[in-house]
Each structure stands twice: as structure tokens, then as C-alpha cells.
Structure 1
């Protein structure tokens, strides 16, 4: 297994909420803003600011088939991207409480 895939899986395993993001991405900003507005504790990694960001993004494609960011996990479950998260706004607080992120 590649180091990037191991790193991505460790981030997913070790955090109630994991957001694979890019600092300049407006959809990533919208995701983090929504999580912030709910007071959620989450781990965000900015793939454009780490040396192995491209490799991690490639590993995520292997893991869940999604190539875009944000790539969001709650309680080790792949949620999808920003539009998927926004669509679940109604149940998001419960999801986050269940994950221990609130």
C-alpha cells in the first residue's frame, strides 16, 4: 500500500470528521464554514499545502472513487463533497453528535 493511501486512511480512522480540502477551493470553504457554524470539531488537510497532497488525492480516488475536493468523511463514512454535505444539512447536527464531533 502506498504511503499516501496509508496516510489518508489514518486521517479517516483517527478523526470523527475529516475534510480533504484545498485552501483556494470555494466549495471547500463552504464545507468548512458550515461545519464551523455548527461548532463541529473536524480535521482539515489542505492538499495544496502538503508535499504529498496530489498523492493523497489520488489515494482517495482509489478508496472512494471521488476525484474532487472537498472529500468529506464523518465517523469513517464517506459523505462525498460539499453539495452532498449541504444536502444533508437537516441531519448534519445529529450525524456530528453521533460522531462525537460536537
Structure 2
């Protein structure tokens, strides 16, 4: 059986300073958006929060030297690799289409109230 990992074992990169940074950003910010500067879906999500006058923290993965590693970590945590990855009150609410749907139904506002926004 050797040194093989079971499917439930986290990958090596989950025990790195980047993984701790991602976890910290998610827990320390009511609204955390992982984005890429050129992505129209990312811009749309950021505009939703701007229109709601909700402060949010944003990490632009394409301008960070460790952006690829952060995206690997987000993929492991959320089971999706696409951006944006949006977290509200520590919970991944998804990407652009999920955020937009929550916004249109009023559920996003409810989620934001749970963390004092």
C-alpha cells in the first residue's frame, strides 16, 4: 500500500501559508471575492456588492505570483475552479450566476445581514 493517499486526505498544498491565508481571508471578511481582473463575471459580482453598498475584500488571482496555488486551494475547498469564488460569512455561495440569483431573490441581502452588513 506504500505512501498513497486516500481520497479524503487533503493535498499537500492545503498545509501551506497560502492555504492559511485563504482560510484567514474567508473567515476575517464578511464578503470575500476571489477574482481575476479581466473576468467579466468577476466584474459583475463586484458590481453587485458595490450597488448594495456592501464592503468586500477582493483578491485578484491573476496579478499575484501565487494566484495559481490559491486557485488550487479554492478548487479543493469549493469543488469548483472557476472565478469568481464568492464567500459570505465564511460560506461559499458560488460564482457569478449563483450570486446573481441570490441577489435577484433577495436572499443575498439576508445572508449579508447574518454578518452585520
Verify same fold: TM over 0.5.
yes
| 90-99 vs 4-13, greater mean Cα deviation | 90-99
> Normalising by the residue count of structure 1, what TM-score does the alignment of the two structures yield?
0.94
Q: Which runs of 4+ in 1 moved over 3 A?
A: none
The RMSD of aligned alpha carbons is 0.9
| Structure-2-length-normalised TM-score | 0.82
C-alpha distance in 2 between matches for 1:5 and 1:68: 18
Matched residue count: 101
Aligned 1:1-102 pairs, distance under 5 A:
1-89=15-103, 90-101=106-117
Higher relative contact order (CA 8 A, sep 6+): 1
| Partners of 2:90 and 2:54 in 1: CA distance | 15
**Structure 1 residues not aligned, in runs of 5+:** none
Aligned counterpart, 2:6: none
